[in-house]
């Protein structure tokens, strides 16, 4: 087998059992969701997939294809569903899908499963699917780590490196995502920048939905975003992921 192969789906059926035995499988989970006028619909897939790829190379694991569909976008954390292009499934379907995929994966002799989430609203549903898999006995002696990439960025780090940080719930199409996309896929980032001055508060859901929750789908400021900031965030999170995954 070519030692450079780090994509699970590039293995053959005859290779896979030997290749993944005792290894780490990495599953990025994202979404297809509007991200303002300047970013593409696949932001929430591009970012966790990039972290999954570098982790696979860092530790000799294998990355699964990114899961593109997510649960619904909420107004105070994703701009809501009134913007064209967002595609979602309901929470029960998503939870069942993730759980059934995990059950299938557990027929393979890997030692560790790492799930990297890139869509804010997915988090609780992924936790539920993983915990249901645990209680069903699917993992046996395997270890599992699930996180959203931004959860590995400390408050102290954000205060030092990110100006006027509004909180992760409101960092939708804002400084961090725009900077990361400028670092990872600058070809997909449009020149236009939109600033939303009054970011919504976390943990509040209101009906009717208020237009002032976002500006054209942006929940915070995008001005000041740069590829350099994106590189800084990416390398910080990359190191945090590596420490988390390789800790005894």
- Active-site residue set: 33, 35, 44, 119, 121, 172, 177
Question: 3-class SS at 139?
Answer: coil
Among the listed residues 92, 123, 23, 121, the one whose alpha carbon sits nearest the alpha carbon of residue 64: 23
Query: Torsion angle of alpha carbons 125, 131, 137, 139, nearest 10°?
Result: 80
Give the number of other CB atoms < 10 A from CB of residue 144: 15
Tokens 């609780």 belong to 124
Q: At what angle do helices 175-184 and 43-59 cross, to 10 degrees?
A: 60
Among the listed residues 58, 71, 59, 62, the one whose alpha carbon sits nearest the alpha carbon of residue 29: 71
Output b/e per residue, 3-31; b: 16+ Cβ within 10 A.
eeebebeebeeeebeebbeebbbbbbbbb
Q: Which residues contact 160 (CB under 8 A, 6 or more apart)?
A: none
DSSP H or E segment with residue 145 = strand 143-148
Side by side, which strands form the sheet with 62-63? Answer: 62-63, 24-29, 112-117, 143-148
Distance CA 116, CA 118 (A): 7
């Amino acid at each position: 087998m070519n030692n450079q192969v780090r994509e699970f789906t590039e293995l053959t059926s005859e290779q896979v059992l030997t290749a993944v035995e005792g290894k780490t499988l990495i599953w990025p989970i994202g979404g297809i969701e509007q991200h303002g006028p300047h970013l593409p619909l696949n932001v929430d897939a591009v970012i966790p997939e990039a972290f999954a790829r570098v982790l696979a190379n860092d530790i000799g694991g294998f990355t699964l294809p990114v899961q593109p569909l997510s649960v619904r976008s909420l107004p105070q954390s994703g701009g809501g569903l009134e913007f064209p292009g967002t595609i979602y499934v309901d929470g029960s379907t998503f939870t069942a899908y993730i759980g059934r995929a995990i059950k299938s994966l557990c027929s393979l002799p890997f030692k560790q499963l790492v799930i990297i989430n890139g869509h804010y609203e997915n988090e609780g549903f992924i936790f539920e699917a993983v915990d249901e898999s645990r209680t069903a006995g699917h993992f046996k002696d395997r270890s599992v780590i699930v996180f959203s990439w931004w959860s590995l960025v400390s408050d102290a780090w954000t205060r030092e490196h990110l100006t006027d940080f509004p909180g992760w719930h409101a960092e939708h199409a804002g400084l961090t995502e725009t900077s990361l996309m400028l670092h990872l896929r600058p070809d997909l980032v449009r020149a236009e920048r939109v600033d939303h001055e009054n970011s919504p508060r976390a943990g509040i859901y209101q009906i009717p939905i208020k237009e002032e929750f976002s500006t054209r789908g942006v929940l915070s400021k995008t001005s000041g975003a740069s590829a350099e900031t994106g590189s800084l965030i990416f390398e910080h999170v990359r190191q945090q992921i590596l420490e988390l995954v390789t800790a005894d």
